[in-house]
Structure formats: structure tokens, C-alpha cells
Amino acid sequence: MKFHLVARLYLSKSVEKNVISKEIENFNRYLEERDSGAEIDNWSLKENSLELSITSGTKRRAHDVLLNFRNVLSKNLGRNFRVGVRRIEVDLYEVIFSLEKKPLHDIS
């Protein structure tokens, strides 16, 4: 089973791209150390909006990774730059799994 999540985090003010890049690199390293099978594989920053794409396996769900990243980001940016996460919007959440038998009807 695989999970794919696309979400947007709205920050209280804009932050430099290299600061966000370091936070994402550190968080991905943390996930890799924990052998969670999840990662933030794509992201973009536009003013105070951070768009993330998260893929994960069965050990750690994508929505849990998103909330964990929000907490880490709020803690680190709040302490150093006085920036917080104001809102989270999820644009896409896919669950992909394989079936043992072929379905009787198409799934829409």
C-alpha cells in the first residue's frame, strides 16, 4: 500500500527558500533514519505558501508525516524567525494498493 499527499502550508510571513530547503532536508534525513518509508519528494515556496508532495508506505501514513513536519517546522521557524504555520490545505490524497483478484466493476 502506498500513500501520496499534496498539501499546502500557509506561513504567517514569507521565509527564504534556503531556510525551508534545510528544514526539509533535515526532516527527510530524520525520516530515513527512522526507516519510515516516507519522504517529502517535491516542494515549492511562493511568498508565504509552501506546497509539499509526500509519498509514504505502510509504516508511516502521509497525513501523519504532514502533521509531524508541521510541528517540526513551527518549532524551528518560530524559535529562529518568529514564523508559524497558520493553515493547512490538502489538495490531493491518494491511497494506492494492489488487489489479489480483479474487481467485478470499475471503481471511479
User: Which residue carries 508532495 as its cell?
Assistant: 53
Spell out the domain ranges in the chain: 2-96
pLDDT of residue 29: 97
Q: What is the DSSP letter of 17?
A: H
Was domain 2-96 assigned CATH 3.30.70.1920?
A: yes
Q: Is 62 left (phi over 0), alpha (psi -120 to 50) or beta?
A: alpha
pLDDT of residue 107: 75
Structure confidence by residue, pLDDT tens digits, 60-94? 999 999 999 999 999 999 999 999 999 999 999 99
Q: What is the pTM of this model?
A: 0.90
| Other C-beta atoms lying within 10 Å of the C-beta of residue 16 | 10
